[in-house]
Amino acid sequence: MSILVTGGAGFIGSHLVDHLLAETDYRVVVLDDFSTGSASNLAHLDTDRLETIDGDVRDESLVAKLVSGADAVYHLAAAVGVKTIVENPLDSMQTNLEGTKNVLEAAAASDSTPTFVASSSEVYGKSEPVPFAEGDDRVYGSTTSQRWGYATAKAADEFLALGFHAERDLPVVIGRYFNIVGPRQTGQYGMVIPTFVEQALAGDDLTVYGDGTQTRSFTHVEDAVSITHDLLTTPDGHGEVFNVGAPDPTSINDLAKRVIELTGSDSEITHVPFAEAYDEDFEEPDEREPDVSKLHDALGRAPTADLDWILRDVIDERTDEVIA
């Protein structure tokens, strides 16, 4: 049997590849254009069960060919990070929308290949109050603010996936990721934990955008990929949307302080207004916390929040010294 992972050289994708190779006997095919993913994320894997294809998920014929040979598809390829979306809005929208359409069309045409579609907590926009449940209403900002382009594209991806399930009986599952973190993640695209860790280890000030009181729920990547795999192999999950996150939020100020403590750094915390970092129209939600009751009902479990474990894992990757 064969599994296709789009975006498999990315941060989450490469950990999913690790999990699939370890937990199954299947052959794994990775499709990635290496725009945000990296070959180094897969370099540790020495197996003839892995094949890597350098290609774009927007290439309809290539996607159709690869999906036709797969027994399951995990679609993680996307333009990621708020910074990427704001700076490259057109390319980001095209990648996210066209890529998902191509995957779903190919899966539906290939004997209804089971497909997982990676979504994001961004689809909740600036809704409140928390925690967010999958069926909650969503509130977004204006289309004149590129900040909401990613959220809009991911919501459209979900509508497409659910439409393929409803009209063409495609066994599809949607996972809304909440701030997935761990080794191999880069701060290059605005991800807060690797950015803080790298700043702290360098002795630089930790840059906190806004006043730092905004809260986020962080999830270790190993928890996320294990749940991702289980969701697609659970028939009751087909045609459903699930929050994939740990319901234990922390403020960005507290996160920065804990990074400084764990690294033993002398760094200070500097606050930078969002308008200065991005633009005057930029909006950042105050809270992001998942309701995981639906996930519990489906799998009997949900990610376990352990911020220190997450931080130590990221810190250990970036230093020769193990932080006790």
Encoding tokens for residue 1? 């049997």
Angle at 115 between CA 111 and CA 119, to 5 degrees: 155
Q: What does the block give as tokens for 114?
A: 């089971």
CB 110 within 8 A of CB 168: no
Give yes or no for a contact between 215 and 289, defined as CB atoms under 8 angstroms apart.
yes
- Which positions ≥6 away from 55 have C-beta within 8 Å? 31, 32, 33, 62
Residue 240 pairs in a beta bridge with 173
SS3 content of the chain, % helix, strand, coil (to 5): 45, 20, 40
- Please state the separation of Cα 188 from the chain's center in Å: 15
| Nearest Cα residue to 86 out of 283, 289, 287, 288 | 283
Question: Phi then psi for 156, rounded to 5 degrees?
Answer: -65, -40
Q: How far, in Å, CA of 139 to CA of 120, rounded?
A: 15
DSSP of 13-64, one letter per residue? HHHHHHHHHHH---EEEEEE--SS--GGGTTT---TTEEEEE--TT-HHHHH
How far is it, in rounded angstroms, from Cα 118 to Cα 75? 6
Q: Which of 74, 124, 140, 150 is catalytic?
A: 150
Q: How far is CA 230 from CA 151, 187, 225, 242, 298, in A?
A: 25, 28, 9, 12, 10
- Catalytic site includes residue 150: yes
Q: Alpha-carbon dihedral of residues 313, 316, 317, 320, nearest 10 degrees?
A: -170
Calpha distance 77→99 (Å, rounded): 8
Q: Show which residues are catalytic.
A: 150
